[in-house]
């Protein structure tokens, strides 16, 4: 499946993914959010500390961190919902964040819950009520120090159930 997934191949192409961001998520594009590595099981994204992502306290603004962290989970969800025979809607229904250290350089977010997301999407295809899944992504700096932990609850629902 990995070789045939259009979203996965798009995410692995730096140029194509930047163009996707430019047209679909311009705030992430201009903030410098990038995918550093991606498989069906995990994704690592990054966001730099720069003029467009700074806050007045000489660190990365929390909303910029949230963009990069959501992308580390959201792209894993998109891989499983994009271009399938039965369309699935996806929505963040809850987000929690814990901050441990100021983000003063590039922050890298890694979500290792791709298989949990895949299971939830598969269940949503079978179940008219939909399915939620809670996933975690950790943000670390270049020294591998923990900056933040984000917990997202994603909801997946078959679009077939909207027609009923």
Q: What is the pLDDT of residues 119-132, one digit of tens each?
A: 999 999 888 788 99
Q: What is the pLDDT of residue 163?
A: 52
- Model's pTM, two decimal places? 0.88
Question: Which helix or strand (DSSP H or E) is residue 26 part of?
Answer: helix 26-31
Q: How confident is the model at residue 162 (pLDDT cuts 50, 70, 90)?
A: low
Radius of gyration of the chain (CA): 16
- The CATH T-level fold of domain 2-162 is Thiol Ester Dehydrase; Chain A (3.10.129)
Buried b (16+ CB within 10 A) or exposed e, 38-73: bebebbbbbbbbeeebbeeeebbbeebbbbbbbbbb
- Is the pLDDT assigned to residue 2 strictly greater than 80? no
The count of other CB atoms within 10 Å of the CB of residue 99 is 15
Q: How confident is the model at residue 164 (pLDDT cuts 50, 70, 90)?
A: very low
Chain segment 79-95, per-residue pLDDT in tens: 888 766 778 899 999 99
């Amino acid at each position: 499946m990995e070789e045939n997934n259009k979203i996965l191949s798009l995410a692995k192409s730096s140029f194509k993914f930047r163009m996707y961001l430019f047209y679909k998520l311009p705030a992430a594009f201009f903030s410098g959010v990038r995918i550093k590595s991606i498989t069906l099981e995990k994704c690592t994204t990054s966001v730099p500390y720069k003029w467009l992502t700074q806050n007045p306290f000489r660190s990365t603004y929390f909303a910029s961190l949230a963009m990069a962290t959501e992308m580390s989970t959201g792209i894993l969800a998109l891989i499983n919902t994009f271009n399938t025979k039965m369309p699935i809607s996806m929505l963040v229904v809850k987000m929690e964040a814990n901050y441990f250290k100021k983000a003063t350089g590039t922050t890298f977010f890694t979500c290792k819950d791709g298989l949990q997301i895949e299971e939830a999407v598969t269940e949503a295809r079978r179940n008219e009520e939909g399915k939620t899944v809670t996933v975690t992504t950790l943000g670390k700096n270049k020294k591998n120090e923990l900056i933040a932990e984000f917990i997202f609850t994603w909801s997946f629902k078959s679009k077939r159930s909207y027609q009923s």
